[in-house]
Structure 1
């Protein structure tokens, strides 16, 4: 089993290639009703970081300062969006924008499962749906670089990537299950003031498919959860890379209309300086 995990991790890791793929454009996008949003956002000061994969991985990438939601979007917040935009409910959403498992655990268009908190992150959301929500509240999805830059922070350090304890903590969090059923703010905020970037859900990014993986791109939800959250290649020679590896593997396995049991999102916003 150990050798299988190593081979799997090695194969996926080196089948990554950095290339920009355009998500399908369509004129069939449903009209959006804008909603008010009082959700707290935190400021992340820009800087440079070394990407995990791609042509830029040997050089530093610049990230401008930006705002990002302190937590993932919750069931309660998404429910408010659905009531104003019923075209995104599970019974009415176009299959072009969400596959058959979109909000599949919800009892009805406006009723979440009994064992899931309203304050838990909303999941089984497609990229199209996440993007629509973000636009409805005057925001956008974070880019891969923004998400990765913000996620380098531990509770005390804004860049803890060289700290082995931080890496171990991330790996332990990735092995926890069903965090997506519990309220947000399950763990302490990082040094930026952002909660639960690890260990609760996976999160969509604006350019999630800028890193594509070769091979089969889609398996059922259960396999997705165990493969990407349970540590498929912990025998990788550099565990500092492993935490990033599983995030990029997850992103590269998706298409814009796919949904997964523990895949949700949070919003970001450009920072307008006075």
Structure 2
């Protein structure tokens, strides 16, 4: 079944189209960062890349499903989306929220295909985390208590997905809404918290909890990051959530 679904998704990806939209992208300078799941002191290098300035909106996604009917809620295959897919839309082409609010209740499969139809891709988890370290003024604000408190306050605020994109601050790279509206899919969303019996999986979970000397239960930075990793780890590619949207990324051409 796994190989069948993968082959079918690849086939669907070959036949997609999407007129250019949401083309505003910002360059994220490359660098290194220490992920929450890393072994002690082990940093990850992130190459420079482009990221959408805003999350994909309801209006953007409507155009996508109109041009690619296989992703309409009445047509989408259960292999690629659960029952909550576009559940707030009253029919295939009518959404209930603001046109410029981030689209939500979209599966990873759908988000991935949307980006591919634009010649883009979903950001990797490391790319997303690296870009999201930045506040308005500096590329790494993770040790600034007020910044982490802002993120945690958002986690406790209901229905932020109903706000228009651009409602939150523009970060150091010129990107809006990485924190404040919706959680976002990443290419490798569930590669850290894995439910399995292998020793490799156990080691990954151990690194997440105690791999770095910087990690402490009282540390706001790590608590906020852990919540993101835990949420991603609870998801499957066909799942969707009203608090989950996405944006696209792109490699920088040499």
Per-residue deviation, residues 126-155 of structure 1 (Å, max 9, x unmatched): 000000100111100000000000000011
Q: Does residue 82 of structure 1 match 2:71?
A: no
Measured after TM superposition, the shift of residue 37 of structure 1 is: 2.2
2: CA distance, partners of 1:51 / 1:60 = 7
Partner of 1:229: none
Partner of 1:110: 93
2: CA distance, partners of 1:94 / 1:258 = 12
Partner of 1:187: 168
Per-residue deviation, residues 172-207 of structure 1 (Å, max 9, x unmatched): 122111111121111121111111111210100001
Deviates more, 1:57-66 or 1:122-131: 57-66
Instruction: Show structure 2 runs of 5+ residues with no match.
Output: 197-215
Measured after TM superposition, the shift of residue 38 of structure 1 is: 4.6
Partner of 1:32: 16
Per-residue deviation, residues 7-63 of structure 1 (Å, max 9, x unmatched): xxxxxxxxxxxxxxx9x62235422124222520000000000011144x5311100
Partners of 1:99 and 1:257 within 8 A in 2: yes
The correspondence of residues 168-247 of structure 1 with structure 2, limited to 5 A, is 168-214=149-195, 236-247=217-228
2: CA distance, partners of 1:270 / 1:82 = 25
Partner of 2:121: 140
Partner of 1:51: 35
Partners of 2:28 and 2:51 within 8 A in 1: yes
Provide TM-score, normalisation by structure 1: 0.80
2: CA distance, partners of 1:71 / 1:253 = 25
Of 126, 131, 137, the match for 2:112: 131
1: CA distance, partners of 2:22 / 2:225 = 31
Measured after TM superposition, the shift of residue 236 of structure 1 is: 3.1
Provide TM-score, normalisation by structure 2: 0.86
Partner of 1:96: 79
Partners of 1:175 and 1:199 within 8 A in 2: no
2: CA distance, partners of 1:236 / 1:71 = 32
